[in-house]
Structure 1
């Protein structure tokens, strides 16, 4: 049997892992149990009634967290001329073209998001084998291929969260920090779930949102009753 420390035992206090409760009550429990020595990330996991192996059942997109994520996001932008200047002013850590591509090919991966102006996709396309497996390849559907690179940089740093269903139809993402207020976390989680609901694919049959749970980095998961979330 795995060893369970005092901190984790305390975190489990009051948590019935088999019972789904309201979102508000779940957030209260998660915050109370997030007692690690660092600011734990609050994560949401959702089981969807889809089969991502079918093209008409893919769920992917991006949603802006109304209260930010509490995470520092480092951005690389492929742009030139005025757009490159705009990206730098917006706060992008890395901006360039072929020179930036060469750095990435050489192993430089000190960024969390990649944004590209449409006219730079010929350059970015060559990095598919490097960026693709890491989920960093720019995509118009995610707003990371756009003529407005400055706004995309601001959105990324302001709290945009990308989501994509895994093979088992599970979506998970970090949406905030334990130090956030209950109201801020409820607002972020609601925005995330609403975005998933709106992204329901035409090929999905039966119950779409099957399970929702939230947890902190070092704490137990708490099931959320989907009916308590405003969609």
Structure 2
């Protein structure tokens, strides 16, 4: 039998130690404990979310050039040279000081000098009724009920304005044309004054009438033909502004709307802020601003 001393010598050549340490009482696969360190954040350093504006932006008019009516018409006509006079119109843009989520201004009026007289008017009423006779005599181009409903459902909309006789309103609602006529602004309703009891006067009033509606704090409307004289334009602008001020005055006292800027432009021309003057000291003669371009 080999001696213990003789076995130790070979092991020492391979670096193996024969001295064993004390035995640990811990399990072999015990996980190490750790500590979570939490840092307190400074709430004052967090960025606060900016609140959006509750009103539309109105630029300072002191920095803007302002023009008399004659001067604005003079420049606009220069931009419209070579265009088809029948397809270009003078346009009004009225910027309002108003809140974003408030009620909007909308109305229809007849200008002293109508801009568009070839409007196709549709009247929804029984085809053989007294209202139909009045509508045709007043100049309506399309009169009836079921035949009009069928055309609209097929996508045929050959009219620019639509009036509904009050006795035909229930039948119109049952036809379900709101999804077609609504986006086009042609669906009759009591709010817009297109559901009437007197068809004849309504058609005559709508012929040559103009509609306007506030959108994003601005009211836009065609105000005249390029062949209008400055005097005719002045009459139309005055009538429009008077009606607009009445509409604003009829709103609730809790709603604040004020006219901030009045701009005259055209279909293809730029806009010119009006100063409220008819003619400046260096303006051209108003006689030069009427007739063909």
TM-score range, shorter chain: 0.7 to 0.9
Residue of 58, 62, 84 corresponding to 2:104: 58
| Residue 107 (structure 1) aligned with residue 163 (structure 2) | no
**Cα 1:190/1:31, change in 2 over 3 Å:** farther
Contact 1:75 1:112 in 2 (8 A): yes
Contact 1:36 1:218 in 2 (8 A): no
* Structure 1 length-normalised TM: 0.81
Counterpart Cα distance in 2 of 1:145 and 1:123: 13
| Residue 197 (structure 1) aligned with residue 245 (structure 2) | yes
Give the total of aligned pairs.
207
Counterpart Cα distance in 2 of 1:144 and 1:221: 32
Counterpart Cα distance in 1 of 2:155 and 2:255: 39
Contact 2:90 2:224 in 1 (8 A): yes
Spell out the pairing of 1:46-195 with structure 2 (5 A cutoff): 46-51=94-99, 53-54=101-102, 57-80=103-126, 81-125=129-173, 126-157=176-207, 159-166=208-215, 168-195=216-243
* Higher percent of residues as helix: 1
Counterpart Cα distance in 1 of 2:277 and 2:109: 20
Structure 1 stretches lacking a partner, 5+ long: 1-16
Q: What residue is the counterpart of 2:45 in the other structure? A: none
* Structure 2 length-normalised TM: 0.65
1:24, CA displacement in angstroms?
A: 4.4
Counterpart Cα distance in 1 of 2:82 and 2:131: 42
Q: What residue is the counterpart of 1:22 in the other structure? A: 68
User: Which is bigger in relative contact order (C-alpha 8 A, separation at least 6)?
Assistant: 1
SS at match of 1:134: coil
User: Deviations along 1:104-128, whole A, 9 cap, x unmatched?
Assistant: 1111111110011111112332211
1:25, CA displacement in angstroms?
A: 3.7
CA RMSD of aligned residues (A): 2.1
Contact 2:189 2:195 in 1 (8 A): yes
SS at match of 1:35: coil
Structure 2 stretches lacking a partner, 5+ long: 1-62, 279-293
| Rg comparison, structure with higher value | 2
SS at match of 2:183: helix
Q: What residue is the counterpart of 2:274 in the other structure? A: 224
1:28, CA displacement in angstroms?
A: 4.0
